[in-house]
């Protein structure tokens, strides 16, 4: 078999690269915030790449988006209002709108160019979510929008790129931002955060995110999902003042999925829920060591210890 002519180098961390064969470049450009590419991979289908980092892949994006959205949404007794920071592909919005109880979904992504490119070239991702009457899309800074909003939200989902230095997302992982989040959550509200790799040799980001959330919320749970296009297991944190998603049994999760009419989930169910929150001994020990506090004055840039 002939070797592919084009390859994309995805930098997993400073010591590890993942190499993807590329069959086509569907889009390549720059917004005022970041580089944007839509690539075609023989293994993973269409890839959304921002600042040379894969954000999602057509073949397995459902794993990432269902893992990010459904643990907090299922744990809430009746989610009606939801806020998304980021989420340019529209796939997080797609998952939220599967809930009949949702009356308003606000998505704030600073980069209008990402949304336009994804709307045009990744219809499989958003599945028309941008045009749903419950969707409210804003292209501005998510932190400022949330701070100035008078609304309360049942679920707040942070679906952003990693906090790279001077990137558009680094001030949305800090203690000060999570204080804003808490002030905008309803009484039984939950927040979920994409939190970086849970590879045993790459835990800096997720440990810092978890510790920072713990400085605000009494209940913080780390969980993970294996996402092949990301090069391995990927981590998330869910936090709340009152609700602990790990108290739901597999049967509870399956019953809520049925009751809420979620008939087309491909990854998330009761068994998956149990597995996502379960770590082997070496990982529990490593994660329990904790990370450092992320603040506006001392943000967590990518790969910084």
Q: Catalytic residues, which ones? A: 159
Q: Where are the alpha helices (DSSP H) in 41-193?
A: 61-75, 91-96, 112-121, 123-126, 142-148, 175-184
Residues belonging to the chain: 305
What are the beta bridge partners of residue 54? 49
Q: Is the dihedral of CA 53, 57, 63, 69 positive or negative?
A: positive
3-class DSSP state of 14? coil
Tokens, residue 174 = 């800090």
Q: Which of 226, 200, 218 is nearest to 285 (CA)?
A: 200
Residue 111, CA distances (Å) to 95, 160, 203, 233 in order: 21, 11, 28, 27
Farthest-apart Cα atoms in the chain, separation: 59
What's the distance, Cα to Cα, between the start and end of the chain in Å?
42
Tokens, residue 54 = 């894969």
Angle between helix 175-184 and 204-214 (nearest 10): 50
Rounded Cα gap, residues 184 and 287, in angstroms: 28
For the chain, state the CA radius of gyration: 18
Rounded Cα gap, residues 249 and 11, in angstroms: 37
Tokens, residue 266 = 């491909």
């Amino acid at each position: 078999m002939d070797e592919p002519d084009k390859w994309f180098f995805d930098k997993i961390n400073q010591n590890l690269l993942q190499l993807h064969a590329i069959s086509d470049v569907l889009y390549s450009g720059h917004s005022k915030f970041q580089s944007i590419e839509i690539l075609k991979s023989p293994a993973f289908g269409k890839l959304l790449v921002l600042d040379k980092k894969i954000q999602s892949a057509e073949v397995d994006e459902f794993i990432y988006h269902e893992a990010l959205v459904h643990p907090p949404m299922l744990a809430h007794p009746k989610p009606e209002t939801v806020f998304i920071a980021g989420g340019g592909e529209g796939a997080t919005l797609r998952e939220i709108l599967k809930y009949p109880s949702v009356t308003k979904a606000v998505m704030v992504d600073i980069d209008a160019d990402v949304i336009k490119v994804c709307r045009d070239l990744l219809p499989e991702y958003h599945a028309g979510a941008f045009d749903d009457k419950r969707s409210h899309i804003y292209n501005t800074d998510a932190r400022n929008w949330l701070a100035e909003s008078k609304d309360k939200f049942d679920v707040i989902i942070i679906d952003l790129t990693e906090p790279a230095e001077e990137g558009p997302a680094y001030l949305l992982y800090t203690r000060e931002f999570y204080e804003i989040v808490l002030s905008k959550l309803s009484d039984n509200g939950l927040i979920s955060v994409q939190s970086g790799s849970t590879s045993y040799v790459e835990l800096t980001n997720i440990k810092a995110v978890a510790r920072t959330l713990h400085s605000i919320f009494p209940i913080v749970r780390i969980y993970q999902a294996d996402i092949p296009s990301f090069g391995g297991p990927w981590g998330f944190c869910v936090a709340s003042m009152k609700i602990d998603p790990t108290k739901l049994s597999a049967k509870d999760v399956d019953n809520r999925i049925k009751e809420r009419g979620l008939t087309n989930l491909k990854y998330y169910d009761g068994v998956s829920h149990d597995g996502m929150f379960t770590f082997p001994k070496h990982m529990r020990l490593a994660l329990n060591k904790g990370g450092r506090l992320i603040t506006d004055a001392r943000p967590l840039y990518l790969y910084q210890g």
